[in-house]
Each structure stands twice: as C-alpha cells, then as structure tokens.
Amino acid sequence: MIQNQKSRRSVLQKSATSLVLTLLCGLSLNSWSQTTNPASNWPNKPVKFIVPFAAGGANDLLARAAAEGASKVLGQPVLIDNRPGAGGTLGTMLGIKSAPDGYTFLISAAGVISNTMIKKSAPYKDNELVPVVMIGLAPSIIVTSAKSKHNNLKEFIEFAKQGQGAHFATAGTGSTPHFVSEMMNMHYGTKLIPVPYKSGSEGSTAVMGGQVEGTSEASIVSLPHTQPGGKFKALATTWTKRMSAAPDLPTTAELGFPEIQIAHWAGIHAPVGVPPEIMDKLAAAVDAAMKNPAIIDRLKIMGIEPMGGTRASFNEFVNAERAKLGNIIRATGMKED
C-alpha cells in the first residue's frame, strides 16, 4: 500500500515536472520568436515618411494618402516630413542616412533612380536605397496652350518635326517632361528643344503664356486647366491606359505613339539595413491603404492611380524604369554638371 502511494507520487511529480518544462520551453520559443522577428512588435512609436519635394504635388499627396491608410493598419501615426531642395537630393540623402530601424522611410520618385545616371556628382548610389512598395502614379498629360493651333498629338508632332522644331518646357534635366521630349525626338523625329524651368508649375505658366509650344505635366497639375475655359489643350496621356478622371483623353499608344510612355510615380524606399520583415509589414499596410475605396476615390478624382503591391513587384518596376530611362539617357547624352 505504502509502495503504491510512493509510486503514484513519483508519477505525479514526473508529470508536473514535464508540464513545467513544456511550458518553459513554449515561453522560451515564443520569446525567441519575438526577438528573431523584428516586425513582431513594430511599430511601437510613430513612423516617418521623408518627402523630398514641397507639399501639394503628386508625390506629396500620394505620400499623405499612404500615411493615412497605413497608420490605421499599423496602429501608429505615420508622419510626413517635407524636405524639398536640390531637385530632391536633400531629402533623399536624409532618407539614406537615417537609422535603419524601420522608423524612417523615403518617398521616392523617378528622379531618385535617374539622378545617379545623369549627375556625375550625385552624392549617392543606387544600392544605398532598398525598394519597399509602390504607392501610386500620376499619368503625365501632353499639353499645349488653349490658343494653340494644334488639336491633337499627331498635329503637334508634325509641327515639331519642321524647321527649327518647337520649345518644350521641362522642370530641369532628367525631369519627366524632359524624358517625354526626348522620347518624341528619339522615336518620332521631332526637334523638340527642352527649356528648363525651376519647377513644373513655372513651365506650365510658360505654356499658358505662349512662351513655349508645349509641355508634359502630371495629371494632378494639368487636369484642372484642361476643363472648358481652361488655359490648356490636352493632347494625350502618356500612360498605358486612360484615366478615370479624363476618360475621353486618349493614350499616346492609342494615337500611334507607344514609345511615349512615362508617369510621375511615388514609392517608398528604405535605407540599407532595415529588416526585411519590417519592410514586408509596411508594404502590406500600404497595399491595404491603396485598396481602401475612400482613398481610391479621392485620388482618382485628381487623376492619380493608386497602386500598392509587394516588395517584389516594386523592385521589378524600379528595375524596368531604370533600364528604360537609362537607355534614353545613354542615347541622348542627357547629363547634368
């Protein structure tokens, strides 16, 4: 009898010990999992998006839409820090030099990847930024003055082939309007002369006033001026499909000029060293934001197309954009400095 009680007590003690060890092992594994996955408790404070352009433009509006939607998904504020200057280089360098802790990201645009190919003195290299996610894009619209005699893109291109060609306003070397002018020159025999202005808005004003024959500007800037009574005549959009905000405006491809294809896009890049798990979590949050019906409606009415996606899809887009712009830069000798 006493022997049976001792045996029973021994079994119970062993079972209790086994249970304790199992619980400790589980706690240990859970703790290990949390320490090895940096995204498990990220973010636990506000996240910052550096926008290397002034407030009010397409990139800024896309950044704010992404921040608004992502903050709801992540449960932490996402703050916007506008740092314009030096054609976007000032803000870009701040993004590159920020701590790779997952709390500071750069809102990027085409200039971020083309600068290293155009500027000999570019203070950074392509491999100093890591693509995270696409936010969206604003298709570019080729426009002339409302008083212009050119009623469509074909007429404008035929005019720009003649004599001394035509002047085309740009926002400087390597800007989207500059690339549009070079695409027309390379593929369709125009003799467009890029005229650099300090900003796209200054170039647009020059077109309205008749100082230059045309330009290509982001939909958010140009659409309001293409309405009846406006100062622009819209000739085509340079993206792959028509905009919901201007369904009657044809694409360049529809009009027989498929090589004129570019848009003002905005994405998110991270400094080197940010854990991939954190970048994936941010990408998923931004992707969810760009699928939010309220955000979609708000952006599309301004001619902006929400995108979203994954790290992989944005990386693929960036590589394709770099190859396309690189070909134009090499073929035309586009350089600054």
Residue 14: the pLDDT is 52
* 157: enclosing H helix or E strand: helix 153-161
Residue 7: the pLDDT is 52
Instruction: Give dist(CA 182, CA 219) in Å, integer.
Output: 20
Please report the beta strands in the chain, taking only residues with DSSP state E, as ranges in sequence order. 47-51, 78-82, 104-108, 129-145, 166-170, 192-196, 214-218, 232-237, 263-271, 305-306
Dihedral pair phi/psi, residue 271, rounded to 5°: -65, 155
Distance of CA 137 to the CA centre of its chain: 7
Do 139-237 and 45-137+264-332 fall under one CATH topology? Answer: yes
In the block, tokens 């079972």 appear at 15
Name the residue type at position 126.
Answer: D
The C-alpha angle 241, 242, 247, rounded to 5 degrees, equals: 160
Instruction: Give pLDDT tens digits along the chain (337 positions).
Output: 544 554 555 544 555 555 444 544 554 445 444 457 878 899 999 999 999 988 888 889 999 999 999 999 999 999 999 998 887 889 999 999 999 999 999 999 998 889 899 988 889 998 999 999 999 999 999 999 999 999 999 999 999 999 999 999 998 888 899 999 999 999 999 999 999 988 888 899 999 999 999 999 999 889 999 999 999 999 999 999 999 899 999 999 999 999 999 999 999 999 999 999 999 999 999 999 999 999 999 999 988 999 999 999 999 999 999 999 999 999 999 987 5
Nearest to 299 by CA among 310, 307, 287: 307
Total Cβ atoms within 10 A of residue 291: 12
In the block, tokens 């070397």 appear at 173
Instruction: Give dist(CA 185, CA 157) in Å, integer.
Output: 9
- Fold type of domain 45-137+264-332: D-Maltodextrin-Binding Protein; domain 2 (3.40.190)
Distances (CA, A) of 97 to 50, 93, 119, 139, 270: 12, 6, 20, 31, 10
User: With contact defined as beta carbons under 8 Å apart, do 176 and 218 qualify?
Assistant: yes
Residue 11: the pLDDT is 44
Question: Who's near 6: CB < 8 A, 6+ residues apart?
Answer: none
Instruction: Give dist(CA 110, CA 5) in Å, integer.
Output: 79
And the tokens for 227?
Answer: 């309405």
DSSP β-bridge partners for residue 108: 267
* 220: enclosing H helix or E strand: helix 219-222
Helix (H, G, I), strand (E, B) or coil at 214: strand
Instruction: Give dist(CA 244, CA 334) in Å, integer.
Output: 34
The C-alpha angle 112, 117, 123, rounded to 5 degrees, equals: 65
Total Cβ atoms within 10 A of residue 152: 14
The pLDDT tens digits of the residues spanning 245-274 come to: 999 999 999 999 999 999 999 999 999 999
Residue 64: the pLDDT is 96
pTM: 0.83
User: With contact defined as beta carbons under 8 Å apart, do 304 and 134 qualify?
Assistant: no
Give the start-to-end residue ranges of the domains of the chain: 45-137+264-332, 139-237
The domain over range 139-237 is classified in CATH as 3.40.190.10 = yes
